[in-house]
Amino acid sequence: MRGEVLYSLASRSGAVQQKENNVKKLFLVLIGLSIAGCAGQNGQGPMETVMSDFGLKEKPEGYVSGTDKVYKRLNDVGETEMKRMNMAERLGEVKAEEDGLQVKYYKEVKEYVSYYALDAKPNSKAVDRERGYVGYLEYRYRILQGPRKPTRTEAQAESATIPTGEDGRETYRYKFNGGGTWNGGKGERARIQ
C-alpha cells in the first residue's frame, strides 16, 4: 500500500510537472510574439518606433501617418465637393428689389471658386467608438446676380452672371475611416479655432 501511495504521488507530480512545462512553453511563446510585434517598423527598433510615433524622434524615411494620408486625399475631396456644391447652388435664390412702387426680381447664386486643405487629425469623438480621421477644407465663394426682371419666373429663368463683388469663405469637416478613406458623405459646416 505504501508503494502504491508513493507511485500515485510520483505520477501526480509528473503530471503537474508536465503541465508546468506546458505553461512555461506557452509563456515563452507569448513573450517571443510580443517582442516580435514590438520589433519596430521600417527597420527601426521598438524604442525608435515608439519615440517616432509620439513625435519625440524624427520619423524614418518613407513613413506615412494616417493624418498625412488624409491630408493628401483632401484635394480629391475638395474637387468633388466643390462640383457638388456648385450643382446644388446653380438654381440660386430669387430675391426682390424695391424701387419706389416698382418691384424687380433677380436671381442670386453662390459660386464656389476654390478650396484649400486646412487640417487633418484623428477623430477625437468617442461617440461611435470607431477610429478614424477628420479633414477640414476651406472653400472660397463669390456671389453672382442675374439681370432685374419684372416677374419672379423670368428672374428664375435667367443665368446669374453679374459679379457683385461679395465673396466669402466657409469651412467644412469631412469624415474618413481608420485607413484614411473618405466615406463620401457631405461635409459639415465647421469653425476652426
Taking only the tens of pLDDT, the chain with its 193 residues reads 555 544 554 555 666 677 777 777 766 665 655 555 555 555 566 677 666 656 677 777 777 777 888 888 999 999 999 999 999 888 889 999 888 888 999 999 999 999 999 998 888 765 555 678 899 999 999 999 999 999 999 989 988 889 999 999 999 999 988 888 888 888 888 876 5
My answer on whether 174 and 122 are in the same domain is yes
Same-domain check for residues 134 and 158 = yes
Is 25 a member of any domain?
A: yes
Residue 135 near residue 117 (C-beta atoms within 8 A): yes
Contact call for residues 180 and 152 (beta carbons, < 8 A):
no
Residue type, 25: K
List the domain range (segments joined by +) for residue 82.
66-189
Q: Which residue has the cell 493628401?
A: 72
Residues 114 and 164 in one domain: yes
Q: Could you tell me if 52 and 63 are in contact, meaning their C-beta atoms sit under 8 angstroms apart? A: yes
Q: Which of 89, 108, 102, 101 is nearest to 151 (CA)?
A: 102
Q: What is the pLDDT of residue 178?
A: 80
Which amino acid belongs to residue 166? E
pTM of the model: 0.64
In a domain? residue 134: yes
Cβ atoms 172, 187 nearer than 8 A: yes
Of the candidates 177, 175, 176, 170, which has an alpha carbon nearest to the alpha carbon of residue 192? 170
Place of cell 472660397: 140
pLDDT for position 43: 58
Distance separating alpha carbons of residues 1 and 45, to the nearest angstrom:
61
Q: What total number of domains does the chain contain?
A: 2
In a domain, 58, yes or no: no
* DSSP 8-state code for residue 60: P
Indicate whether 31 and 99 sit together in one domain: no
For the chain, the residue count is 193
Nearest in space to 170 (alpha carbons), one of 143, 147, 138: 138
* pLDDT for the residue 38: 53
Both 70 and 42 in a single domain? no
Do 144 and 79 fall into the same domain?
yes
Tell whether 81 and 166 lie within a shared domain. yes
Give the separation between CA 80 and CA 183, rounded to whole angstroms: 13
Residues 71 and 38 in one domain: no
Q: Are strands 102-122 and 132-145 parallel, antiparallel or unpaired?
A: antiparallel
- The answer to the question of residue 60 being in a domain is no
| Structural domain contains residue 125 | yes
User: For cell 419672379, what's the residue?
Assistant: 152
